[in-house]
Each structure stands twice: as structure tokens, then as C-alpha cells.
Amino acid sequence: MRVLLVDDEEELVTTLAERLSLRGIEADWASSAEQALSKVAAVSYDVAVLDVKLPKISGFALKKRLEEKAPGMKFIFVTGHGSEEDFRTGSAEAGEGYYLMKPVNIEALVRKMDQAIRGTEEQP
Amino acid sequence: MNAQQGRTHNLLYRFGLGRRMPEFWHYADGSAGLYKPLFNFRRMWIQAVLLTAGVALIPLIVMAAIDYKVTQNSVESENLLQTARLVSNTRRSVSFFLSERRSALNFIVRDNDFEALNSKARLMQLLEDLKTSFGGFVDLGVIDPFGYQRIYVGPYELAGVDYSDQAWYRQVLQKGLYISDAFLGFRNVPHLVIAVKRQLGSGLSYVLRATLDTGRFNDLLSAVEMRVRKGDAFLINREGKLQTPTTFRGKVLEKISIPVPEYSSKTEVFETANQGTVPLIIGYAYIHETPFILMIVKEKPELMGPWYETRMKLLGFLAVSVTLILFVIIGVATVLVNRVFLADQRRVMILRQVEHSNKMATIGRLAAGVAHEINNPLAVIYEKAGLIKDLFTLKGMYAKDEKLMGLVNAILSSVERCANITKRLLSFMRHSEMKSGDLDLKEVITEVLSFVGKEAEYRSIAISVNKDEDVPDIESDRGRLEEIFLNVISNAFAAMEKGGHLDVDIKRAGGDSVSVTVTDDGCGIPREDLDKIFEPFFSTRTGRGGTGLGLSITSGLVQGLGGKIHVQSEVNQGTDFTIVLPLKTEQREG
């Protein structure tokens, strides 16, 4: 499983990437939308974990642009705006269950990524 | 309160008005600040009263004063005029009386020559004729050119008396007529003398002298006196000696107490105004060719009697009108200023609510911003700690070191707690911005209680929330409800000691409403404060961080949602706050 983590907080993405690597997941990271787009162009990822609030662009907008380059890639969103309303509107946008609040529990994240990929496999 | 207000205050209390003063009287708007003079209701009231009273009363009083003066003057001049007329008429009568007798004597000396008058019998006949046809004659005498009374008929023994060197005799010779002052005759009856001269052919003159009883004058003058209440009509001579009897001014031949008025050919009237004596109106006239001055003296207060009655009516009317006008002005001013005051109270209340909700909104945005910003570093801490834990567990480096593992777990759980707090805070703020929606009151209250959960734990306060089964969801404003319950619950917490109990009961109230009762077993509220707790700036915790706004805002919010709030309390037993809310809130502002 190859994962791309996108968040402007480098400390966060690097640590998260390292933790995922420790769990045997190939994790790559990007700290801006541009970086993410170029990485996706070069490598194919199974799942992208996007921060909802990125500099210049929202996570949802970035998702659309990434989908153009890599159809079939799955997305999970994380947010620091931890209110329930944000959660509801975010979930509606991201799809039920693929919207997580910071700080993210690593086990929960891994489970979500598994679910996302399995969801793809289940689809014909 | 300043010194002047203090004085007014004391004065009001002295008149027993202090307690009855309207609400605005003692009100000072602490928050008005720069605009304080605009909101000084007492001054507004005083100005309104003074201005309207001035406009209404000054013309009234001026008119009354003018009317008073005019009426007084007209009554006075009427009196003077009347006196003058009376004096004139009386003078005419007196003059006529004397000139009639003088003419009779003149007729006698022309009709009878000196020889004829030299007969005592003839003179007696003439005296008898004068007595019957004119009256008042007492005696008659003929004085020859040498001053000897040749013939005398009358009650005295005056024949042969020498008058040649007497002043009156010389005066008759000079002027042809003499009228004497009154004098007391033989029988102690006042008399006067009239003498006329008759020229003889030889250039010598003889004189006919008659004595008159002044009783006829007295009759004449007492007839005048009848017309003057408490007045006197009398004659004096030029020295001021009374010639006729008076009622109040002394006996005949006594000197009168009033100074002799100065000579005037006309009738004169004047007033005396000596201090300590009754003011008099005096009319007088010098009677031509006689030593007499006719005087009519009246006491002014007696004359002014009808005026005093009119004056009493005028002043009474004025007093009644002034009282009535003041009564109406004060009443109207009080009602109006009180209305302004009440409107202003509402304005201040609304202003404070707006101010408070603005403040809350600002605090909310600030808190949301802080919570927001903190989430990212929290996530970093969380991941770093998570990585450490991963390294320990997955690589097995310090997996057996329980202390290190404990530390890492403590960091992780603390960060989770922080995350929960920011999550709740953000959620709470988001709700405040929401408008109406269907709400489960128990859920709302549980969320509010989550803010004080930790404090309850520390202070061992037992919290219970009960909701009856038949309570439906209500349509209301979540943000406002949360603020209302947060205020009431914070107050309950402030009132309770360690180990207290807080119960929240949600019940269906009568009609389309729901009641929420928050009961604590804290210190309670003294009876005298119960009425005031919903007033702005009433606080018993002013020195300890209370603004005195909480419950006034709460009550405003409850009213804004169409509900009601009541309180019941016993000192040292606890307090119940009951909030009754309608099932549906009509949207209102404020």
C-alpha cells in the first residue's frame, strides 16, 4: 500500500509518514498542493490523506485535481476544525467515514486506509 | 449624591414625600457617563415643573396683581371722591345756614332805621320774629357808634356793655360783618355771634349783634354723620378748636388731635397714614367769610370694608388656581418623566444585552481561533509522542521500560483531553451562531454540564439530570439556551460548597411549554435580594469578579425566547431557578 500524506505542517506529515513506515506502509508526504500534484504525477498512490485546510487551496479542491491525474486513488480527509458541524459538512463532501479529526489516532487512520482500498477492490 | 441633592432629599423627607417619590427620583445612571446630564431625570422633572409652572403661573399672578391694584385704587379713589362730594354739600348747607341768618340781620338793619332799633320793644319783636321764622337766634343787641350796647334783648344782662376796644367790634366796623368762634354761653351751651354794620348818614356806623345757638349746626352735621359709618362731621376754628360736638374726636372747644389743614379755597381730601394709628380719610373745606373749617373724618378700614371682602375672594381664587395648576403640572410631569424613565430603562437594558452578546460573540471568535490554532501543534505533539511509542513498541527498544511507556501514554492521553476541549469549544461556538432548530433539552444541558464536569469532579458535586418521558423536543435557539443554562448552572456552582448537589429537572409545564428547574443546595439568596437579582449590576460578588450582569442578561435572553424565569430561595437551604420555555419560539429581536 502506497500512501501520500498532504499537510502544510511538515513536522506532522514527516512524523506520521515515519509512523506509517514503521507499520510497513509505504508513506510519502507533501507539504503543499503543488508538491502533491508533482508527486502524484511521478508515482501512483493507493490513498491520499489530505488536510482540509491547505495554503491557497482546500483539501476538497485538491482532491478534484489529484483525481484528474490519478483516477482510482482513494482519499481520506483530516481537519483541525474539530466541530461537529464541520464534521457533518466535511463527511458529506468526503464520503461517510472518511473524514477524521486532528489529532488522528494512528490505528484509526490505518484502518480507514484499509477500508478505503478494500472499498476500491470491492468495486468492479 | 451631592450636597444640593442631599438638601432636596431632606426637604422632601420632611414633607413626607420621600417615600412617595417616583422611581426615577433616586435613580442615577452609572453607565450613562458622558451623557449623564441627559439622563438626570430628577433635573428633567424639576425643569419641566419649573418651566410649565412659570409659564402658567407668572401671567396668572401678574394679572391678579394688576387686578388687585386697579380694584384697590378704584375703591380708594371712589372713597375720596365720595368724601369730597359730602364735604362740598355739607359746606354748602353750613354756608347757607350762616348766610341766611346774616341776610336776615342785614334786612333788619336796612328795614329799620337806627331810631326804630333803639326801641327795646321793637327789638324784642324782631327777636321773636327771627326765632319763629329762622330759628337758632338767642339774643339781639344794638351797639351804638361808640361801642356801647345801647339795647339788648335776650337771656343775659348785657345792656350798656362797652365793646369799643374789642377786636370783633373793630372787625365789624372794618369789614361790615363778623362771625365769631363758638363759645360756651351762660347755660353752658355753645353759641356763636353774628354781627352786621349799618352806616349812618353822619359817617358813623352802628352794629346789630345776634347770638346763635349752634344746636342747628349740630343737627345739620349729625344728619351727615348718619351717612358715614364710624365717621365724624364737625366744624373747627382756625386754631383747631372744635366748634360742634363729635362722636370720636372730642368735645366742643377742645383742641382736635388732627393738625389744622392748610388753607384752600376748594374742598380738599387727604389721607393720613401714621404708624400705630388707624389711617384716616379727611375731607375739609374752609367756609368762606367765617372762622370755620368743615371737616369730615372717616376711618379708612371702615370705608374699605367692601374692598377687603373682594380682596379675600381674589386672593382665595388665586390660591385655589395656583394649587390646582401646580397639582396638575406636578402630576403630569411625574407621569411623563416616569414614562421617559421607563423607556430609558428598557433602552439601557437592551443596550446592555447587545453589548453583552457582542462581547460573547467576540470571545467566541477568539476562543474558536485559539482552539483552531492549537489543534495543529497538538496534532504534532500527538504524532511525535505516538512515534516515540511506536519506536518503543514496534522496534522493541524500551518496550520493557514501564516508566517511559507510562510517560508517553500520559502525553498521549493529555493531548486527547486537550483535543476534546477544543472540539467542545468549537462546537459550542458554532452552536451560538445557529438560529432555531429542534432541540432535546437534555442534550443541550448535558453539553453545558460537560464544561463544568471537571470542576464538579474536583469539588465532589453530584450532578443529576432528569427528563420526564413526555417532554418533546422544543424549537428554540440553541446558542441562547446554552448561554442561559451555563449562566444559571455557573451561579449554582458558585453558591455551593464542596460535596453539594445540583439537580436539573426537565418537565412538561402547562400548555405548550416546558420547564427546566435547576436546584442547588448552596448558600441561598436573602429574601431582600430576591427582587433585585435580575436587575443589571446587582451583584453580591462585585469584589470577586462578579459583574452583576449574568442574571439580568439571562432574564433578557429567556424573555427573548418567549419564556419566563423565576427564583425561589432559602438562605443556607438552596436555590431553585425555574425557566419556563415555550415549545415554539416566535422570532423576536432583543
Q: How far apart are CA B355 and CA B549, in angstroms?
A: 11
Amino acid at the residue B390? D
Lowest mean pLDDT among A102-111, B337-346, B423-432, B470-479: B423-432
Q: How far apart are CA A12 and CA B381, in angstroms?
A: 8
B130-163 confidence digits (pLDDT tens): 999 888 888 999 998 888 998 999 888 888 888 8
Q: Across chain B, what does the average pLDDT equal? A: 82
Mean pLDDT in residue range B298-322: 87
Q: How far apart are CA B342 and CA B365, in angstroms?
A: 34
B346 touches chain A (CB under 8 A): no
Nearest to B433 by CA among B352, B355, B516, B368: B368
> What's the CATH number for B73-305?
3.30.450.20
Instruction: Output the pLDDT for position B589.
Output: 42
**Does the distance separating the beta carbons of A15 and B380 come in below 8 Å?**
yes
Burial A37-72 (b: 16+ CB within 10 A, else e): bebbeeeebbbbbbbbbbeeebbeebbeebeeebee
Instruction: Output the pLDDT for position B58.
Output: 93
Instruction: Output the pLDDT for position B557.
Output: 79
DSSP B353-409: HHHHHHHHHHHHHHHHHHHHHHHHHHHHHHHHHHHHHHHHHHS-SSTT-HHHHHHHH
**Does the distance separating the beta carbons of A19 and B386 come in below 8 Å?**
yes
Lowest mean pLDDT among A85-99, B278-292, B386-400: A85-99
Instruction: Output the pLDDT for position B327.
Output: 94
Q: How far apart are CA B126 and CA B132, in angstroms?
A: 10
A6 touches chain B (CB under 8 A): no
Mean pLDDT in residue range B249-256: 83
Q: How far apart are CA B296 and CA B281, in angstroms?
A: 8
Instruction: Output the pLDDT for position B310.
Output: 86
Residue pair A74/A119 in contact by the 8 Å Cβ criterion: yes
Q: Is the pLDDT of residue B515 over 80?
A: yes
Instruction: Output the pLDDT for position B461.
Output: 87
User: Which residues, in sequence order, are CB contacts of B14 under 8 Å at separation 6+?
Assistant: none
B384-393 confidence digits (pLDDT tens): 999 988 888 8
Which residues are paired to B466 by β-bridges? Answer: B505
Residue pair B504/B468 in contact by the 8 Å Cβ criterion: no
More confident residue, A107 or B224: A107
Instruction: Output the pLDDT for position B432.
Output: 55
**Does the distance separating the beta carbons of A12 and B379 come in below 8 Å?**
yes
Burial B445-460 (b: 16+ CB within 10 A, else e): bebbbebbeeebeeee
Q: Is the pLDDT of residue B413 over 80?
A: yes
B371: Cα separation from own chain's centroid: 66
Q: Is the pLDDT of residue A84 over 60?
A: no
- SS3 label, residue A85: helix
> What's the CATH number for B436-590?
3.30.565.10
Residue A122 pLDDT grade (very low, low, confident, very high; cuts 50, 70, 90): very low
Report chain A residues whose CB lies below 8 A from the CB of B367: none
Instruction: Output the pLDDT for position B316.
Output: 93
B354-391 confidence digits (pLDDT tens): 787 777 777 777 877 787 788 888 889 999 999 988 88
Q: Is the pLDDT of residue B38 over 80?
A: no
Please give the grid coordinates belonging to residue B256.
382736635
What is the least distance, in Å, from the CA of A101 to any CA of chain B? 9
CATH level 2 (architecture), domain A2-122 = 3-Layer(aba) Sandwich (3.40)
**Percentage of the residues of chain B whose pLDDT score is greater than 70:** 88
Q: Is the pLDDT of residue B76 over 60?
A: yes
What is the DSSP pairing of strand B564-570 with strand B474-477?
unpaired
Q: Across chain A, what does the average pLDDT equal? A: 82
* Total number of residues shown for chain B: 590
Nearest to B182 by CA among B220, B137, B213, B141: B213
Q: Is the pLDDT of residue B19 over 60?
A: no
Mean pLDDT in residue range B420-429: 72
Q: How far apart are CA B219 and CA B233, in angstroms?
A: 11
**Does the distance separating the beta carbons of A82 and B423 come in below 8 Å?**
yes
Instruction: Output the pLDDT for position A123.
Output: 39
Residue A121 pLDDT grade (very low, low, confident, very high; cuts 50, 70, 90): very low
Nearest to B185 by CA among B239, B111, B114, B252: B252
Please give the grid coordinates belonging to residue A104.
488522528
B188 touches chain A (CB under 8 A): no
Mean pLDDT in residue range B422-433: 66
Nearest to B235 by CA among B79, B87, B136: B87
Question: What residue of A is the nearest CA neighbor of B379?
Answer: A103
Give the residue carrying C-alpha cell 498512490.
Answer: A45
- Domain boundaries in chain B? 73-305, 436-590
Nearest to B427 by CA among B483, B475, B371, B379: B371
What is the DSSP pairing of strand A47-51 with strand A74-79?
parallel
Assembly ipTM: 0.84
B250: left (phi over 0), alpha (psi -120 to 50) or beta: left
Q: Is the pLDDT of residue B5 over 70?
A: no
Report chain A residues whose CB lies below 8 A from the CB of B429: 83
Whole-Å CA distances, B33 to B38, B54, B206, B313: 10, 31, 112, 52
User: Distance between terminal CA atoms of chain A?
Assistant: 19
Lowest mean pLDDT among B108-112, B185-189, B465-469: B185-189
DSSP B177-197: EEEPPPEE-TTS-EEEEEEEE
Residue pair B270/B282 in contact by the 8 Å Cβ criterion: yes
Q: How many helices (H) and strands (E) does chain B have?
A: 13, 17
Residue pair A32/A54 in contact by the 8 Å Cβ criterion: yes
Question: What residue of A is the nearest CA neighbor of B422?
Answer: A82
DSSP state, residue B263? P
Residue B318 pLDDT grade (very low, low, confident, very high; cuts 50, 70, 90): very high
Question: What residue of B is the nearest CA neighbor of A8?
Answer: B376
DSSP B17-51: -GGGS-GGGG---TT-GGGGGGG-HHHHHHHHHHH
User: Which residues, in sequence order, are CB contacts of B285 under 8 Å at separation 6+?
Assistant: B87, B88, B91, B264, B266, B267, B268, B293, B294
Give the residue carrying C-alpha cell 455557573.
Answer: B490
Instruction: Output the pLDDT for position B70.
Output: 92
Extract long-range pairs of A33-38: CB within 8 Å, 24+ residues apart: A33/A6, A33/A57, A33/A62, A33/A65, A35/A6, A36/A4, A36/A6, A36/A62, A36/A66, A37/A65, A37/A66, A37/A69
Give the residue carrying C-alpha cell 389721607.
Answer: B271
Q: How far apart are CA B45 and CA B108, in angstroms?
A: 92
Q: Which of B379, B387, B391 sits opposite A102 (nearest CB)?
A: B379
| Beta carbon pairs, A and B, within 8 Å | 76
More confident residue, B368 or A1: A1
Q: Which of A12, A80, A85 sits opposite B383 (nearest CB)?
A: A12
- Domain boundaries in chain A? 2-122
Q: Is the pLDDT of residue B514 over 60?
A: yes
What is the least distance, in Å, from the CA of A124 to any CA of chain B? 36
A12-40 confidence digits (pLDDT tens): 899 999 999 988 999 999 999 899 999 99
Beta-strand (E) ranges in B144-248? 149-153, 177-179, 183-184, 190-199, 205-213, 231-236
Q: Is the pLDDT of residue B448 over 80?
A: yes
Instruction: Output the pLDDT for position A104.
Output: 83
Instruction: Output the pLDDT for position B590.
Output: 37
Q: Which of B380, B387, B419 sits opposite A9 (nearest CB)?
A: B380
Instruction: Output the pLDDT for position B372.
Output: 74
B553 touches chain A (CB under 8 A): no
pTM reported for the whole predicted model: 0.50
**Does the distance separating the beta carbons of B376 and A22 come in below 8 Å?**
no
Q: Which of A16, A23, A83 sits opposite B423 (nearest CB)?
A: A83
**Does the distance separating the beta carbons of A11 and B419 come in below 8 Å?**
no
Which residues are paired to B211 by β-bridges? Answer: B139, B193
